[in-house]
Amino acid sequence: MQIRDMQTEVHVARHDPVGRISPNVYGQLSEHLGRCVYGGIWVGEDDGVPTENGIRMDTVELLRDLNTPVLRWPGGCFADDYHWTDGLGPREERPRRRNMWWTQGRDNLPEESNAFGTEEFMDFCEMLGTEPYLAVNVGAGDPDEAVDWAEYCNYDGDTEITRLRAKNGSEEPHNVTYWGVGNENWGCGGRFSPEQYAEQFRRYANYLRGFDRVMADESLELVACGHITDSWNRRFLEHLAECVSFGQGTVYNLLDHLSVHRYHHSGSDTEFTDDQYYRLLARARQVGEDIDRAAEALQLFAPGTDIGIIVDEWGVWHPEAVFDNGLEQENTVRDALSAASVLDDLNKRADVVSMANIAQTVNVLQCLVQTNEDSAWPTPTYRVFDLYKQHMGATALRTVVDTEVRAVKSIGNEFNADSEHEVPLVTASASEQDGQVYVTLSNLHRDDAREITVTVESDGVTIEDAQALFGGLPADLYSTETNAERFTPEEIEAENHGDGTVVVDAPAGSTLGLSVQV
């Protein structure tokens, strides 16, 4: 590895706005997998923790504090073998089905009880004040099933399906905006080629758009499943155009968002070398590159459209998270630092990123909340989301970081064709709202603290708040029920030079939030 010396300065260009940071960038994914839903969100009649309609209120309270904007459900791979009508009606009468992709609960059973279905999910979203994002079954379903679900959720008339909704306790529609047309249909969702998925997408989208135009308020936003490779997305978009259209517009009016997924790891969850520490951070930076390539494909095939990029699955997936343990892993400071880096990259691309969903909400992979039978606690990554939530809905500002760079040599083709990948040892993003500029930055160096100069384009600023996460904590420290408070933020000193320049000392492996009034 090499380190090249550069100054540690962060320049915030107030007069060069990027775009509004959609609150949905801070979304999450909850899948019927391991202890995410069953045990983490839903416990039914279990009186070990306070519940409301079977939903754990300790989990709800933690997620409420994050202002969770959007929640994707029921998957993930599970979505493409899920039939939504199975999760309706009296719980004791719901069919017990296979879960062909994952085992669930402590017993690791590949079975789905359907105790948690559409109405329970909508209850959960209402408790959180969050937008639901539903993924329809393309792999094992059909367009009619998808449209029926949309009718159940969104139609306010009098049909057999809306009467069924009323019978299940919801007289009023749920008004679901976001609909994913399948999930990873290049893999677990059917192993379609790009051309085959284009055929499937336009079938589903045609009928969902028709329903929305005639029976709803034309508010549905459809998400197409993309890939992290250039060729897949380009072949999909090219073939999508090869259909007969009628009326105004082009075939690209069928989609509002194109999604990509990115998981990364290096070493184990709690044991890793210095090389693996920085390699994980290098791999996390690929999320931003995936977005750039997807945006380039859209610009090539659908110029002039406002199709957004969604990263609706992202996060760290360590080797310890396997099928047999419900994809559970320890959640460390290193993982949280990688999340801060990704969120900075998402903020910087506010003009093209319309949503992102970390995987997953509770207990699974890079979760925000962990639970046992009688308590729930936040992970280090939760603390990062909490620190960053001030960016939600604000205007992203162009941010330039001059810092040391760590060069990580490529193993095979992990960084595409590049021989190495550069990791800036300070990452940052900034936003402005109502005269307040909020800067988040991380010192990613594992061992060394550093002085960081933040310059805001202003004659002067007033420092309102400065906080740091993880100062003095080792990178391999992970959250447990008994140590969760160790990851809370601490107030730090920030030196105001009076000319729009603020200097802070960032401990090794720390994430900072700096709020100034301009």
The distance from CA 504 to its chain's CA centroid, rounded to whole angstroms, is 29
Close Cβ partners of 47 (under 8 Å, ≥ 6 residues apart): none
Give the β-pairing of 178-181 and 131-136.
Answer: parallel
Helices (H), 71-142: 118-128
Given a contact cutoff of 8 angstroms between Cβ atoms, the answer to whether 7 and 408 are in contact is: no
Q: Say whether 404 is catalytic.
A: no
Amino acid at 472: G
Give the β-pairing of 2-4 and 405-409.
Answer: antiparallel
Given a contact cutoff of 8 angstroms between Cβ atoms, the answer to whether 335 and 281 are in contact is: no
Exactly one of 120, 151, 221, 313 is catalytic; name it. 313
| C-alpha torsion sign, points 300, 306, 307, 313 | positive
Q: Which of 334, 336, 335, 331 is nearest to 481 (CA)?
A: 331
The 3-class SS string of 216-252 reads: CCCCCEEEEECCCCHHHHHHHHHHHCCCCCCCCCCHH
Count other Cβ atoms within 10 Å, centred on residue 52: 11
Amino acid at 355: M
Phi, psi at residue 489, to the nearest 5°? -75, 155
Q: Which of 409, 237, 370 is nearest to 307 (CA)?
A: 237
Q: Say whether 313 is catalytic.
A: yes
d(CA 114, CA 104): 12
d(CA 447, CA 339): 19
Given a contact cutoff of 8 angstroms between Cβ atoms, the answer to whether 69 and 26 are in contact is: yes
Exactly one of 31, 112, 120, 184 is catalytic; name it. 184
Given a contact cutoff of 8 angstroms between Cβ atoms, the answer to whether 229 and 218 are in contact is: no
Close Cβ partners of 288 (under 8 Å, ≥ 6 residues apart): 342, 345, 346, 348, 349
Active site residues: 184, 313
